[in-house]
A = this chain, B = another copy of it.
Amino acid sequence: MLGIDEQNQPGELEPVQRKSTAAIVADQLRSAIMYGSLPPGSQMGEADLAARLGVSRGPLREAMQRLVQEGLLHSEPHRGLFVATMDADDIRDLYTARLAVERAACEQIIRYRRVEAVAELTAAHSRMVAAASRGDRGELTDADQEFHETLVRGSGSPRLQRMARTLLVEKRMCLTALQDKYPADAQALVDEHRGLVAALEAGDELLLLTRLEAHMNDALERLNGSLAE
């Protein structure tokens, strides 16, 4: 099996893509979990997965240990590794963690990188607007995800970024699992994000944090509502 997608920008010479195989495989698995290709609760047969990825079981196991550490997989010794399942408590917990991380990111941004962050976030938000106007829900969700990735990246904190990445994968996993029941309230989503950018642009920290908290609560409400079905 070939087809390891690598995005090389021609002409731009960068510090060579020196990623270990385990890291590449881990990324692949993360994507598969995010987009539901490996649904929650499913067992990951090592032999099968290794064959599909074109690597041996060794590197695959190394990659899976990374995801175990992230909490995306859980291991039952001598039984196998399973994609994490999430109940209502987990979703709540996920959003308290997200709020903790993104709130800290906002504070860092306001303090050190407000102007640059506003530009980046405005761009990310316009992508959401475009997706919403086309009614493309998948693209809207992706844009939403990228918005928050951009937000945390803007903090310039490697640790917050690392935490946020895992949390966003989990969030995306939930959305994928519940996508049939998830309400398509595109306009509200776009508006909330615009509110965040506006507050940031105004440099109003209190307003920004308030809106962020409201945004998290709304998202949590939507998810829990869908889960209740």
Separation of A58 and B65 alpha carbons in the complex (Å): 12
Which residues in B have their C-beta under 8 angstroms from that of A1? Answer: 89, 92-93
Q: How many copies does the complex hold?
A: 2
Contact residue among B19, B76, B96, B157 (Cβ-Cβ distance under 8 Å from A108)? B96
Q: Does the CB pair B157–A96 fall under 8 Å? A: yes
Interface string of A89-125 (1 = CB under 8 A from B): 1101110110111011000100000000000000000
**A89 smallest CB distance to B (angstroms):** 6
Q: Does the CB pair B158–A93 fall under 8 Å? A: yes
Separation of A163 and B71 alpha carbons in the complex (Å): 11
The reply to whether the CB of A139 lies closer than 8 angstroms to some CB of chain B is no
The reply to whether the CB of A134 lies closer than 8 angstroms to some CB of chain B is no
Which residues in B have their C-beta under 8 angstroms from that of A62? Answer: 61-62, 65
Q: For the side of the interface on A, what is the size category?
A: 35 or more
**A32 smallest CB distance to B (angstroms):** 17
Contact residue among B20, B97, B99 (Cβ-Cβ distance under 8 Å from A163)? B97
The reply to whether the CB of A162 lies closer than 8 angstroms to some CB of chain B is yes
**A168 smallest CB distance to B (angstroms):** 12
Q: Does the CB pair B69–A70 fall under 8 Å? A: yes
- Ordered by A's residue number, 8 sampled pairs between the chains whose C-beta atoms are within 8 Å are A18-B77, A22-B65, A71-B158, A94-B159, A97-B163, A100-B100, A100-B101, A100-B160
Apart from A65-B66, A65-B69, list 20 A-B contacts with CB within 8 A: A1-B89, A1-B93, A20-B77, A26-B69, A58-B58, A62-B62, A65-B65, A66-B68, A69-B70, A71-B158, A71-B162, A90-B158, A93-B158, A96-B108, A97-B104, A97-B157, A97-B160, A100-B100, A100-B101, A100-B160
